[in-house]
Structure 1
Amino acid sequence: MRKLALTFALCLAVCSSGVAADKLELLIVDGQNNHQWQKTTPILKAFLEQTGRFRVDVATSPPKKSQPDAWKTFRPQFAKYDVVLSNYNGEPWPEEVQKNLEQYVAGGGGLVIVHAANNAFPGWPEWNKMIGLGWRNAKYGPRVTVNDDGDTVRTEAGEGPGAGHGPQHEFSIVIRDRGHAVMDGIPAEWMHFKDELYHGQRGPAQNMHILATAYSDPAKRGTGAHEPMVWWIPYGEGRVFTNVMGHADYSMHCVGFQTVTARGAEWVATGEVTLPVPKNFPSAGKTSTQEP
């Protein structure tokens, strides 16, 4: 009954905003990941559809070490969708698929990156431009953090740590751009449920707009810096929205994760956010979870 009530409330909120009849077409890409995509893709699909704003399809790649012929049929039709969400971290896609994604985003398409999807494709230059920061070693490229005064700090390649994380734990998310449409109405600070807190990511790090950070506590084998958790990057006429939270199914049960991901997907697709911030959104001192 509680799930039914939540779904009804979400639908009612969307219907009242006048967008229920204008669903956005969203494609999740999965099939390989060093995380359990078989568990997390259904969660992503469920909570996105429960908002009433999205119609979700899934494109699943061949498994690792498949024969080349198996990849010939993997041709996601990106152009059919308003937004693409990557839950993929594995072998390189065929060059044709890579070029199709580049053209899709550059032409105005929206792309959302969740957690380990930003670990993927270190050898794909345009992908690295799109994501800005990825799971790379310290020599790969610059690192971006935020200091205690809220200023962005750029650390050059070869200096400081490479990508990593400490033990999973609950941690506080701090909103750095409260004027952005995705973050409008979200508490300035809120507790995220048990997850990996990524640190030391590297990449081109160009044109990054940091929306939220988390403090990487040395007591949790962290860096002592405020690490980017949510950001976006323009790519041609399109937008790429990255949320590095979401390690496991239980991490994705966080209401904060679900809200930020759904609102981010709507924003990269349309430039606007109509999805409301739910009443059970986590607070500065308390997590909030729900199974979609």
Structure 2
Amino acid sequence: MNLLRSAATGAAIAMLTVPAVAQVIVHPPYRPPETVQRVAIPVDPAEKRISVLIISGQNSYEHDWTGVDNMLRTLLQDSGRFDVRITEDFDHGSLAMLKTYDVVILNYSSRWVYDDKEEHRWSPEAEKALFDYVRQGGGLVAYHSSFTWGYNWPEYRDLIGAVMEPGSSRRSPPGAFPVHIVDREHPITAGMREYVWTYNDDMYTNMSFAPGAKIHVLATAHDAAASYDPKLAGPKYPAGAYTKEKLAKMHGINADHPQVWTQDYGKGRVFSITIGHDEVSLHFAGLQTLILRGTEWAGTGKVTLSVPDDAADFPTSP
């Protein structure tokens, strides 16, 4: 028995001295598992993508800014062209940090309600860092609610081109409206159809433009007096405030208003897009195309992303 036990022990020891077959290491395409909620997955560091930082962290009550942040990040990364990060605490931002990115997207508003006196602006150091970043050649995308503040901050208005001003600016009633691409030769809009639609969105009208701002308008929307009819506008717009007589006196009524534009700021490129209220509007090809190609242009000065069929130009004559 002892001999048998010794033999078995010897065999086991011998097996340990024999080199085991190495485990096969699989190298699949880089794609970590996704969670149940659709979120942007990490990007392979070996890919050379445009580096994007979304500055967020506070917004007005009617904006689902956290959900929009997630959708913007997913949209941009799924294009294969961008690698996106999000910060919700830019108070500690610095020029050195910003310079690690090719382009910054602002999805931020300093007030809980549009005309609140109280607001949360970033620290003076962070504010200066943002201006210096763009002035020295960084790209900037000013997105939707980022135009609803800064009316008491002239330097910010200069940076993004225009802001909504309580008392003179307004949101036109339609939640769905055509966006007129008025320049279809710019790299951002080249190849797009003349009109695209946006849904569940805000048409900013009568915006306060920075004095001397040299903006280049890419798209407009029409603020029609007929849209203020109570049957169309609904209860949010009191009929007594928009009678025919009052509408006739309103500045900018029955006129086209800039919704998308570009401008230079120092050595930097700024792409301003006022539309894109929520997750509903972000599902449509026209808006997605403007965001993707506008962000690429702001970050690089060029546009390589194609226009999808649902937003592409097409023959209109037989």
Shorter-normalised TM range: 0.7 to 0.9
**Number of residue equivalences:** 233
- Matched residue type, 2:48: D
1:192 is matched with 198
Output one character per residue of 1:245-273: Cα deviation in whole Å (capped at 9) or x when no partner: 01121122221111101100100111110
**Is contact 2:192-2:312 (8 Å) kept?**
no
1:252 is matched with 282
- Cα separation, 1, equivalents of 2:94 and 2:153: 18
1:33 is matched with 59
1:287 is matched with none
**Does residue 79 in structure 1 map to residue 99 in structure 2?**
yes
Q: Paired residue for 2:300, among 255, 264, 270? A: 270
**Is contact 2:173-2:227 (8 Å) kept?**
yes
**Is contact 2:177-2:199 (8 Å) kept?**
yes
- Cα separation, 2, equivalents of 1:57 and 1:168: 33
What's the secondary structure of 2:125's corresponding residue? Answer: helix
**Is contact 2:139-2:299 (8 Å) kept?**
yes
- Shift in Å, 1:282: 7.5
- Cα separation, 2, equivalents of 1:194 and 1:168: 8
- Matched residue type, 2:183: D
Q: Normalising by the residue count of structure 2, what TM-score does the alignment of the two structures yield?
A: 0.69
- Shift in Å, 1:224: 1.1
1:145 is matched with none
- Cα separation, 1, equivalents of 2:278 and 2:183: 26
**Is contact 1:190-1:282 (8 Å) kept?**
no
- Cα separation, 2, equivalents of 1:245 and 1:208: 17
What's the secondary structure of 2:272's corresponding residue? Answer: strand
Q: Paired residue for 1:176, among 170, 173, 182? A: 182
**Is contact 1:255-1:282 (8 Å) kept?**
no
What's the secondary structure of 2:199's corresponding residue? Answer: strand
- Matched residue type, 1:96: E
Output one character per residue of 1:86-133: Cα deviation in whole Å (capped at 9) or x when no partner: 000012111101110111001110000111111222333321111111
What's the secondary structure of 2:189's corresponding residue? Answer: coil
- Matched residue type, 1:132: G
2:49 is matched with 23
What's the secondary structure of 2:172's corresponding residue? Answer: coil
- Cα separation, 1, equivalents of 2:293 and 2:273: 11
- Cα separation, 1, equivalents of 2:282 and 2:178: 15
1:26-175 equivalences under 5 Å are 26-34=52-60, 35-61=63-89, 71=91, 73=92, 75=94, 77-90=97-110, 91-137=120-166, 162-175=168-181
**Is contact 2:93-2:125 (8 Å) kept?**
no
**Is contact 1:114-1:246 (8 Å) kept?**
yes
1:15 is matched with none
Output one character per residue of 1:29-52: Cα deviation in whole Å (capped at 9) or x when no partner: 111011220111111111011111
- Cα separation, 1, equivalents of 2:149 and 2:305: 29
What's the secondary structure of 1:198's corresponding residue? Answer: strand
Q: Paired residue for 1:240, among 254, 270, 273? A: 270
- Shift in Å, 1:21: 4.0
- Cα separation, 2, equivalents of 1:136 and 1:106: 25
1:67 is matched with none
Q: Normalising by the residue count of structure 1, what TM-score does the alignment of the two structures yield?
A: 0.75
* Structure 1 runs not aligned, ≥5 long: 1-19, 63-70, 139-161, 285-292
What's the secondary structure of 1:280's corresponding residue? Answer: helix
- Shift in Å, 1:283: 8.0
Structure 1 residue ranges (4+ consecutive) displaced by more than 3 angstroms after TM superposition: 73-76
- Structure with more relative contact order (C-alpha pairs < 8 Å, separation 6 or more): 1
- Shift in Å, 1:56: 0.1
- Shift in Å, 1:176: 1.4
- Cα separation, 1, equivalents of 2:226 and 2:159: 32
1:65 is matched with none
**Is contact 2:263-2:270 (8 Å) kept?**
yes
1:10 is matched with none
**Does residue 281 in structure 1 map to residue 311 in structure 2?**
yes
- Cα separation, 2, equivalents of 1:187 and 1:30: 31
Rg comparison, structure with higher value: 2
Output one character per residue of 1:52-107: Cα deviation in whole Å (capped at 9) or x when no partner: 10000001038xxxxxxxx4x45582111000000000121111011101110011
- Matched residue type, 2:50: L
- Matched residue type, 2:170: G
- Cα separation, 1, equivalents of 2:221 and 2:151: 24
